[in-house]
A and B are shown apart, each in its own frame.
Chain A
Amino acid sequence: MHDKVDVLIIGSGASGAAVAWSLADTKMRILCLEQGDWVKPTDYPTNGRDWEARLFGDFAINPNRRARETDYPINNGTSPIQVVNFNGVGGSTIMYTAHYPRLHPSDFRVKTLDGVADDWPVDYATLEPFFAENDRMTGVAGLEGDPAYPYHALPMPPLPLGKTGKCFGEAMNRLGWHWWPSDSAIATTEYDGRAPCINLGHCTPGCAQGAKASTDVTYWPHAIRAGVELRTRARVREITVGPDGLASGVIYYDAEGKEHFQPAEMVIVACNGIGTPRLMLNSQSGKFPNGIANSSGLVGRNLMFHPFAHTYGYVEEPIDGNTGAQLSLWSQEFYETDKTRNFVRGYTLQLHRGAGTIVDAIANTARGFLPWGEAHHDVYRTIFNRKLGLSAICEDLPEEHNRVTLDPVLKDSNGIPAPKIEYTLGDNTKKMIAHGVARSKDILEAAGAKNIGGEAPMLNAGWHLMGTARMGTDPERSVVNEWGRSHDVKNLFIVDGSIWVTSGGVNPTSTIQALALYIADNIKRRLADATLFD
């Protein structure tokens, strides 16, 4: 039995870190439990010659392949998209590309504007100060003045354009289409003790330079200095409920498998769109036989990914290859609904720099383009450092049959039931994917690329996990209210991507963190006027 804490946060990733830091100024006793470890910068793959090989080993994006002791298995069932994540201090920000767009204002009003899904109970204007605070804490690089967004200031200049960016830019200008340097959570100058990017070219599986804004190097040092305790190798099995119907704490396992009870006045869940419903569904009690805070039956439902449609081709002259951040440009040309298309909503196009030498060889072997024999060398030299790639990040509309449940057989190393994914692509999404692929081919052809190939949707690309404990004002149609508090359990909050009502068509981390700061601000204001648990 541990001493009771005021605030118990489960998960130290994008949202858990932000909420911990924001609440630290209340001087409450705050504890965060994280199932993984700290990752040392010297452990990241770019320190070694085997950096690409480790993408298929201990730094694989798919937890079923990575299979670290700190990972939990996921039954992806027959889903055309597999969940990818990372478990450790910083969560999946350790293993993200740091592409950092915000949701657009229209994303919060999809029912009103387009007659689909639901409007959010918050809007862009409400979140705007929290976006700005998050950009400052994270350290965001970019170029102000993007016509695709309301104006927002950015703390650092953009990542370099490079040869690849020039190639894309010229093609986009030929087509008359929007493109712009991305907001990137990568330091381009010294920032808050972090060194600037030196173009290691391998952002996803952790940044040895510390330029990429994973929360272990952004929010956590500040939160810990302000008194927050972060306890690693603490895997939470369930949230417990007291006789008053409030959350009383959690049961977790330490690295040796020993069971602990950690009591708390308030519990905040920040385990992502898969881990959060898994934990809630595993938190069964007499009062909540179907999982905690699940009177709506919506915990685990409305799972949204962003289906990625990846298209690529090869130009004649060498471009940047693997050097430089993989993502530094976007196009929002097809983001907003256009009634002349056969689908509603839209997508962002991410314009990629190339892949590593080996990853490109593997991708071209998979598509049957790279032969065996003497010709292997000839063909390889036509693709090496010549790849232009794009991904359409398609908005996925919420559908209740897309869901996370508990697998009846599969368990993690502590015997906790694992999540099972049931997911199919909706008709609107399929049409959007087809459109994204066609427009991507237009861009590649305008850039003079040949040997065009692709994968749509990408199988191993379930990065963005949203919707499985949605927010709303109606307790029958949502799990948490408009400021993240559970409708059923008044001292239980959720702050991760689970609470999203719709997915938008952008990488979600910036908005997840802004929402977490917004919820923390609501908690603080209601603590001050003693209405938090009313």
Chain B
Amino acid sequence: MTYETLTAPEIHDLRALAAIMIPASATYGVPGADDELIFADIVKSLERDTGDARTALRQLIALSGGAFADLAPERRAEVAARFKQEGGAPLFALNRVVLLCYYRDDRVMRSLGQEPRSPFPKGHVVEQGDWSLLDPVRNRPPMWRRV
């Protein structure tokens, strides 16, 4: 399946927006969603959400009165806050792609204490637990309704 791609100005605005959505954090030692690797993944992964992304970015441009990325930082933050409130379903679709790519980045996963790998084939360990916790339930009389 082939998908549309964003134009260069749209990509420029999206990168500025991604930096506001999830900025880099010195506190947690993680990059922002505008990081070169993460952002490249975002652009590549828009796929079936490209239409929604484009709709959202047009709305952002309308709110900005021009290119969002060219606004002064304070004005950009104001517009982004309004966009977050008014963006609706197209923005949600765009935000979802940003999250999908951000939280699979190796650096971000490691900062959360996760191994950067696929679930298969290694799987995970889940503790068996202590089934004596069920004893109060075991001691209940049958609950099902006789017919």
B interface SS class: loop
The answer to whether the Cβ of B75 comes within 8 Å of any Cβ in the partner chain is: no
CB pair A160–B137 under 8 Å, yes or no, is no
State whether A173 and B133 are in contact (beta carbons under 8 Å apart), knowing that A160-B126, A209-B123, A320-B126 are contacts in the complex.
yes
- How far apart are the CA atoms of A200 and B124 in the complex, in Å? 6
Q: How far is the CA of A526 from the CA of B59 in the complex (A)?
A: 66
Q: Of residues B21, B100, B117, which shows the largest number of chain A Cβ atoms within 10 Å of its Cβ?
A: B100
Known contacts A161-B133, A198-B124: does B118 contact A46 (CB below 8 Å)? yes
The size bracket of the interface on B is 35 or more
Q: Which of A113, A179, A357 contacts B103 (CB 8 A)?
A: A357
Tally the A-B contacts, defined by beta carbons under 8 Å: 168
Interface residues of A in 145-175 (CB under 8 A from B): 145, 147-150, 159-163, 165-166, 169-170, 172-173
The segment from A49-57, A249-257, A429-437, A488-496 found at the interface with B is A49-57
Q: Contact at A357–B147, with CB atoms within 8 Å?
A: no
**Is A148 a contact partner of B143 (Cβ separation < 8 A)?**
yes
> CB of A366 within 8 A of chain B?
yes
The answer to whether B22 touches A376 (Cβ under 8 A) is: yes
Q: Which residues does chain B contribute within 8 Å of A163, judged by CB atoms?
A: 127
Q: In the complex the two chains form, is B142's CB within 8 Å of A377's CB?
A: no
Query: What is the CB-to-nearest-CB distance from B91 to chain A, in angstroms, rounded to a whole number?
Result: 10
In the assembled complex, A410 has its CB within 8 A of some CB on chain B: no
Given that A160-B129, A166-B133, A373-B20 are known contacts, is A49 also in contact with B116, CB under 8 Å in the complex? yes
Binds A, one of B4-12, B25-33, B64-72: B25-33
Question: Mostly helix, strand, loop or mixed at chain A's interface?
Answer: loop
Decide yes or no: A149 and B144 within 8 Å by CB, A179-B137, A376-B21 being known contacts.
Answer: yes
Hey, which bits of chain B sit against chain A, CB under 8 A?
20-23, 25, 27-28, 30, 45, 47-48, 80, 84, 92, 95-96, 99-101, 103-104, 109, 112, 114, 116-131, 133-134, 136-138, 140-147
A-B contact pairs, 11 of them (CB 8 A): A48-B118, A52-B100, A104-B144, A147-B137, A147-B138, A161-B128, A169-B134, A201-B124, A209-B123, A366-B92, A374-B23
Question: What residues make up the interface of A, taking CB atoms closer than 8 Å to B?
Answer: 44, 46-53, 56-57, 65, 67, 104-106, 108-109, 112-113, 123-124, 143, 145, 147-150, 159-163, 165-166, 169-170, 172-173, 176, 178-181, 198-202, 208-209, 320, 323-324, 332, 335-337, 357-358, 361-362, 365-366, 372-374, 376-377, 381, 384
